[in-house]
Structure 1
Amino acid sequence: MRRQPAFCPWSPSLVCATVAMLGSGVQAAPAFSTPEELGAALFFDVNLSMNRTQACATCHDPSKGFTDPRETEAGLAVSLGDDGTSIGDRNAPTAAYAMFAPEFHFDAETGFFKGGQFLDGREPDLEGQAGGPPLNPIEMGMPDKASVVARLQENAEYVHSMEVLYGADLFDNAEAAYSAMTRAIAAFERTEEFAPFDSKYDRFLRGEYKMTDQEELGRVLFFSQQFTNCNQCHQLGRSAIDPQETFSNYEYHNIGVPENVALREKNGMDPGYVDTGLLQHPNVDDAAQAGKFKVPTLRNVAVTGPYMHNGVFDDLRTVVLFYDKYNSVAEARQINPETGEPWGVPEVDGTLSMEELEIGPALDDQRVDAIVAFLETLTDARYEDLLEE
């Protein structure tokens, strides 16, 4: 038999009536009848952060490609924490299409670690990822799982829905209740809301859109084994017309990204700090993995800058030029167009994926622009207006 509360702990009369109905054995319909519906509510709930200012959607804004549109002292490179002052050291990756990353594992066939969530794969799946930010002191800032569960219990609709979905005794155990929260958020992140596959590229595959000459050149170059290295890492399937291509093989590589000096000046990292990427994964201790980060999806890449794990590049064209520096001897290609200075040295040297980086000849400006044009076609339909911005 369900335990009946000795008193009604919530003030709204409707909620009290619902609790009374539950105590009398009459089962009221839950406000959220599926994990996906519950997860959607939780995804937007700022009350799950210490100062009630930050939700999952704050750093993964659905209107901005599930990235963080907020300016900080360091620009858009990283996110501002719930405390209003903390800024991190890594760019918040898009949550769009994240459901397609496999669980973190070592692929013996390829010799690479693959999958997982976060840029270093430290959580194996979406459930693990959903549980991280609420407890991160420079993100949502809650002290422990029990504190988050207490916030959940402030909301009678959450309590009733979660007990219906996950068990009447769920809130007897904070660990179980916290896990249920992460499962609901992950369920929402696995919905079509996060992966509509309706970009110009998708419509092209379905015969609903005709590529421009420039976009088609970029598409051919991208999937070429001879003229670019793009699809060495940014192709999941074997076919160039796979209708569910996510444009990532989810491997970990060091491509020689330089330190974001301006960011480090703002976020108070100790001098000499080096972000070793995959080597920070709790189950990875091989020094050869230092400086490697998960290959991101290119879905919505044109509207989810800045780029690289530390947000060091603002413009998508800059990223293409950065890759081209490994194949070009032209002096102009050794200059970062955003700074007018030579490209910075790799933050972590000695583990670069040179075999992948040096595939293909140098690109002229026409081909660089064509690749950028093709990447723009990977933008979901609802974000196409952001391309103009």
Structure 2
Amino acid sequence: MKNFQTFAAAAASALLLNACNGSSGNDTADVALYSTKEALGAALFFDTNLSFNRTQSCATCHNPEHSFIDDRENIVEGAVSLGDNGTSLGERNAPTAAYAKFSPHFSLTGAHPKGGQFLDGREDDLKGQAGGPPTNPIEMGMPSKAATVTRIEENSDYVDAFKQLYGDAVFSDAESAYAAMAESIAKFEKTELFAPFDSKYDRYLQGEYTMTSQEELGMALFFSEANTNCATCHQLNSQSETAKETFSSYEFHNIGVPPNTDLYSANTPLAGGVIDDGLFRNPAVSDEAHKGKFKTPTLRNIAVTGPYMHNGVFRGLRTVIEFYDHMGSGDRPENPETGLPWGDPETNATVNRTDLSMPALTDTKIDALVAFLKTLTDKRYEQLLE
């Protein structure tokens, strides 16, 4: 496992050094780590003691050295994550925590449901999301919120920081302390560290980078309604060349993703091919028309955040675009990764075939789209493209 503590210290130093407030007699890094909610959240984000076997932290499944995804190898090739016990497997691919702060609050109004956290939007905000994994039995595995708070109280520096930031009574009940933990992690996830907006695309908008001819073609195709429907779902702002574009509408759609049969065979609870109903698993949703829909992911860092789709069924980014071409035009009947037909959609009845429909793409156009999507990679992750 990578040494996340180095990253944590660097993050605290860069973001929170001004929190020292002239204190003396303390190590500067320690003061920075615990003087603000963001700094406390940074420490908690990397703390493996918040998992039952003390092996897993938030950063384990959201590695800051790899665009905040789980890049660990496992028996399902990273399609889903291993839990703290080293054997349990999740059901869904861990989405990146980068740029997650821009997802709006969950809403069922409008043409399509929108927003929230997790792939089914079941938590309204980052605080709710941060509170989920510690007590999830197949993730960090803590038996209760109270047990998690007990782990926090093992660290006297945490106790002092919690009382300073949330009041002396914060540990009077487990719910209050657990909520404070979740809020501080969410505060950390809202810092610029998670959303630097410094990719080649951003630098291009600022006149600091010149697109190659292939990248320019891909960008033109991406934003062209006549050639693709990419921007229908993967555009937040109304103008195509706008800084701070997250490349997601945050809407929920069923795009016809086939089941990951390898995951089914490896994950005992999924044996027999349990269908993931997506949005329909959200407690706020009761309409069966939403079965099989998942939140549109950001395309920021998409070239380095595979495997793809909610079940990690596709390994490569080019495969994803070929799949869209297949769903939109009927072209490309075989999955290039397997040499076999793509497979039927996991939930066929609710596939959004209207928005998927588009003209067939040539290999040249697909290569250009891949080239453009690579320009959405944060500067510090460009090395991962090689």
Same fold (TM over 0.5): yes
CA distance in 2, matches of 1:149, 1:270: 35
% identical equivalent positions = 61
CA distance in 1, matches of 2:35, 2:279: 38
What do the CA deviations read for 1:133-187 (whole angstroms, capped 9, x no partner)? Answer: 0010000000110000000000011110110100011101110000000000000
Describe the SS at the equivalent of 1:106: coil
Residue of structure 2 equivalent to 1:124: 124
The answer (yes or no) to whether the contact 2:40–2:184 under 8 Å persists in 1 is yes
Residue of structure 2 equivalent to 1:87: 89
Describe the SS at the equivalent of 1:107: coil
Q: What letter matches 2:231 in structure 1?
A: N
Question: Gaps (5+ residues) in structure 2?
Answer: 1-30
CA distance in 2, matches of 1:103, 1:81: 28
Q: What letter matches 2:35 in structure 1?
A: S
Residue of structure 1 equivalent to 2:63: 61
CA distance in 2, matches of 1:201, 1:317: 19
The answer (yes or no) to whether the contact 1:30–1:164 under 8 Å persists in 2 is no
Match of 1:97 among 81, 84, 99: 99
CA distance in 2, matches of 1:349, 1:47: 42
The answer (yes or no) to whether the contact 1:30–1:161 under 8 Å persists in 2 is no
Q: What letter matches 1:221 in structure 2?
A: L
Cα RMSD over matched residues? 1.0
Residue 176 to residue 211, structure 1, CA distance change in 2 (3 Å): same
CA distance in 2, matches of 1:107, 1:235: 19
Shift of 1:326: 2.5
Runs of 4+ in 1 over 4 A off after TM superposition: none
CA distance in 2, matches of 1:75, 1:273: 19
**Matches for 1:1-389 after TM superposition, within 5 Å:** 32-108=34-110, 111-268=111-268, 269-330=270-331, 333-358=332-357, 360-388=358-386
Q: What letter matches 1:243 in structure 2?
A: A
Describe the SS at the equivalent of 2:186: helix
CA distance in 2, matches of 1:340, 1:217: 28
Shift of 1:327: 3.3
CA distance in 1, matches of 2:109, 2:234: 17
The answer (yes or no) to whether the contact 2:135–2:144 under 8 Å persists in 1 is yes
CA distance in 2, matches of 1:324, 1:31: 48
Kindly tell me the number of residue pairs found equivalent between the two proteins.
355
Residue of structure 2 equivalent to 1:24: none
The answer (yes or no) to whether the contact 1:235–1:245 under 8 Å persists in 2 is yes
CA distance in 1, matches of 2:148, 2:382: 37
Residue 50 to residue 250, structure 1, CA distance change in 2 (3 Å): same
What do the CA deviations read for 1:87-115 (whole angstroms, capped 9, x no partner)? Answer: 1111000000000000111133xx21100
Residue of structure 1 equivalent to 2:3: none
Shift of 1:270: 3.7
Q: What letter matches 1:327 in structure 2?
A: G
CA distance in 2, matches of 1:31, 1:61: 19
The answer (yes or no) to whether the contact 1:77–1:263 under 8 Å persists in 2 is yes
The answer (yes or no) to whether the contact 2:38–2:184 under 8 Å persists in 1 is yes
* Bigger radius of gyration among the two: 1
Residue of structure 2 equivalent to 1:20: none
CA distance in 1, matches of 2:246, 2:109: 19
The answer (yes or no) to whether the contact 2:265–2:271 under 8 Å persists in 1 is no
CA distance in 1, matches of 2:257, 2:330: 19
The answer (yes or no) to whether the contact 1:39–1:186 under 8 Å persists in 2 is yes
CA distance in 1, matches of 2:273, 2:98: 33
Q: What letter matches 1:97 in structure 2?
A: Y
The answer (yes or no) to whether the contact 1:44–1:56 under 8 Å persists in 2 is yes
Shift of 1:329: 4.5
Shift of 1:31: 5.7
CA distance in 2, matches of 1:327, 1:305: 22
The answer (yes or no) to whether the contact 1:31–1:161 under 8 Å persists in 2 is no
The answer (yes or no) to whether the contact 1:48–1:151 under 8 Å persists in 2 is yes
Shift of 1:246: 0.2
Q: TM-score, normalised by structure 2?
A: 0.91
CA distance in 2, matches of 1:327, 1:54: 40
Residue of structure 2 equivalent to 1:11: none
Shift of 1:271: 1.4
Residue of structure 2 equivalent to 1:7: none
What do the CA deviations read for 1:111-140 (whole angstroms, capped 9, x no partner)? Answer: 211000000111110000000000100000
